[in-house]
């Protein structure tokens, strides 16, 4: 059983749960902040987990030249593969630089954009998203060093932070459904594509929500709702309410590239919908998804280095 996570300094607990090596996490964070919305992806040889890093240097070194996107039997693009989705610990980027308008996919402005928030708790923060009053209060109050973070306690990351994690995602795709197998904590998310499928109406709210998917031409659109309100959008702690709708789109541009957009619609937390745009690259054939055990290796919870997260008195 592999080890991804070890004891970490409390001030970095909310970052270190995504990597057993703080130096590597910092390097990946820089890559993610630089490329989270512009499409830059970390090199295949720069993944977390020292035991599996040998012999893999330049990104895509073992991949054949890009060809046409493969197709399912129904003619739609087949998104199957083991993908290097960009590590995105900060969906806003620097002072909101990665935030795009969903309609134009261009940067846009909002009141106080980029201004510092000197009264915020935890790490230095800016007005980096188009917050509502409630969203700004949640953002300013987030302090994982003092209050813990649910991910540092090995609880489910939620839809956004699972997609933002740095360890790769296996996609299994058929005509009627698509499944995302996240190496992060060995989690998965299943999405029906059959228009006749209906989720049970009495499903309880959950960490990752429930999704439905449909095609718009060759673009797969996945809408996710039904959240319990406990999760955050990213490692930096940007908030969302339990009523958020997350829309992810996937376009397979060729045999080894996916164009991905992530849109947040949450009127309680944000005055304006906003989007990231990213590029996923296919991993080499010898790079396989592996087991990840947060609970076994999260030694910081045992020795008190990491503050244990506790359920809030209310749901957002």
Write down the pLDDT at residue 20. 32
Look up the pTM and report it. 0.81
Show Cβ contacts of residue 125 under 8 Å, excluding neighbours closer than 6 positions: 116, 117, 139, 140
∠ CA 218-209-181, nearest 5°, is 60
Asked if 217 and 294 touch (Cβ cutoff 8 Å), the reply is: no
Sign of CA dihedral 128, 25, 287, 152: negative
CA dist list (Å): 258 to 84, 126, 197: 10, 31, 26
Position with higher pLDDT, 63 vs 58: 63
pLDDT band at 316 (very low <50, low <70, confident <90, very high): low
Q: Does residue 248 lie within any of the structural domains?
A: yes
d(CA 134, CA 54): 47
Percent over 90 (pLDDT), the chain: 70
Residues 6+ apart with CB under 8 A from 31: 40, 41, 42, 46, 86, 87
In Å, how far are 44, 107, 265, 269, 313 from 203, measured between CA atoms? 38, 37, 21, 24, 22
Tracing tokens 């070890």 back to the chain, one arrives at 6
pLDDT band at 311 (very low <50, low <70, confident <90, very high): confident
Mean pLDDT computed over 96-114? 97
| pLDDT, average across residues 239-266 | 98
Residue ranges of E strands in the chain: 81-84, 169-173, 177-182, 187-192, 210-216, 219-225, 245-254, 257-265, 274-282
The residues that bridge with 275 in the sheet, in sequence order, are 100, 263
Q: What angle do CA 221, 223, 228 make, to 5 degrees?
A: 160
**H or E element in which residue 14 lies:** helix 13-16
Instruction: Give the pLDDT band (50/70/90) at residue 304.
Output: confident
Q: Of 32-46, 91-105, 249-263, which gets the smallest average pLDDT?
A: 32-46
Structure-token pair, residue 253: 């541009």
Whether 118 is in a domain gets the answer yes
Model confidence at 163: pLDDT above 50: yes
Residue 313 lies in a domain: no
Residue at 3 is within a domain: no
- Whether 315 maps to a domain, the answer reads no
Residue 307: is its pLDDT beyond 90? Answer: no
Which of 138, 143, 137 lies closest to 121 in space, CA to CA?
143
pLDDT score, position 62: 64
Q: Is residue 1 part of a domain?
A: no
Query: For residue 61, what pLDDT is reported?
Result: 58
136 found inside a domain: yes
Q: Give Dmax over CA atoms of the chain in angstroms.
A: 56
Domain that holds residue 253: 10-51+67-303
Could you read off the pLDDT of 6-53 as tens digits, one per residue? 333 333 333 333 333 333 333 333 333 333 333 333 332 233 333 333
Cα angle 20, 23, 26; round to 5 = 100
Q: What is the pLDDT of residues 107-158, one digit of tens each?
A: 999 999 999 999 999 999 999 999 999 999 999 999 999 998 999 899 999 9
- pLDDT-derived band at 314 (thresholds 50, 70, 90) equals low
- Give me the number of domains the chain comprises: 1
Q: What is the DSSP string of 97-122?
A: TT-B-TTT-SB---TTTT-B-TT-SS
Place 63 in a pLDDT band, splitting at 50, 70 and 90.
low
Would you say 14 and 307 are in contact if contact means Cβ atoms under 8 Å apart? no
Q: Does a structural domain hold residue 308?
A: no
Q: Above 80 in pLDDT, residue 84?
A: yes
The larger pLDDT score, comparing residue 308 to residue 5, is at: 308
Q: Average pLDDT for residues 244-271, to the nearest whole number? A: 98
User: What local confidence, expressed as pLDDT, does residue 238 receive?
Assistant: 98
Indicate whether 185 pLDDT > 60. yes
In the structure, what pLDDT confidence band is assigned to residue 277 with cuts at 50, 70 and 90? very high
Q: What is the pLDDT of residue 60?
A: 57
């Amino acid at each position: 059983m592999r080890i991804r996570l070890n004891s970490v300094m409390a001030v970095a607990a909310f970052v270190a749960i995504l990597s057993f090596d703080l130096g590597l996490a910092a390097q990946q964070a820089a890559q993610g902040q630089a490329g989270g919305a512009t499409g830059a992806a970390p090199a295949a040889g720069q993944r977390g987990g020292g035991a599996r890093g040998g012999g893999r240097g330049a990104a895509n070194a073992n991949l054949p030249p890009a060809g046409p996107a493969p197709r399912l039997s129904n003619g739609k693009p087949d998104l199957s593969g083991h993908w290097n989705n960009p590590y995105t610990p900060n969906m806003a980027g620097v002072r909101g630089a990665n935030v795009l308008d969903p309609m134009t996919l261009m940067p846009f402005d909002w009141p106080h954009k980029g201004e510092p928030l000197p009264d915020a708790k935890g790490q230095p923060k800016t007005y980096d998203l188009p917050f509502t009053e409630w969203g700004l209060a949640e953002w300013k109050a987030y302090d994982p060093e003092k209050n813990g973070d649910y991910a540092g306690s090995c609880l489910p990351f939620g839809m956004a932070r699972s997609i933002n994690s740095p360890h790769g995602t296996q996609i299994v795709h058929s005509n009627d459904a698509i499944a995302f197998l996240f190496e992060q904590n060995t989690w998965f998310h299943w999405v029906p594509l059959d228009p006749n499928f209906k989720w049970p109406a009495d499903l309880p709210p959950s960490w990752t929500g429930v999704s439905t998917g449909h095609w718009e031409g060759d673009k797969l659109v996945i809408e996710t709702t039904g959240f319990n309100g406990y999760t955050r959008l990213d490692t930096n702690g940007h908030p969302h309410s339990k009523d958020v709708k997350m829309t992810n789109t996937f376009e397979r541009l060729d045999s080894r590239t996916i164009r991905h957009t992530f849109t947040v619609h949450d009127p309680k937390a944000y005055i304006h919908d906003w989007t990231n745009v990213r590029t996923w690259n296919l991993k080499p054939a010898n790079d396989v998804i592996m087991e990840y055990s947060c609970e076994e290796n999260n030694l910081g919870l045992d020795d008190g280095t990491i503050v244990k997260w506790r359920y809030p008195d209310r749901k957002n």
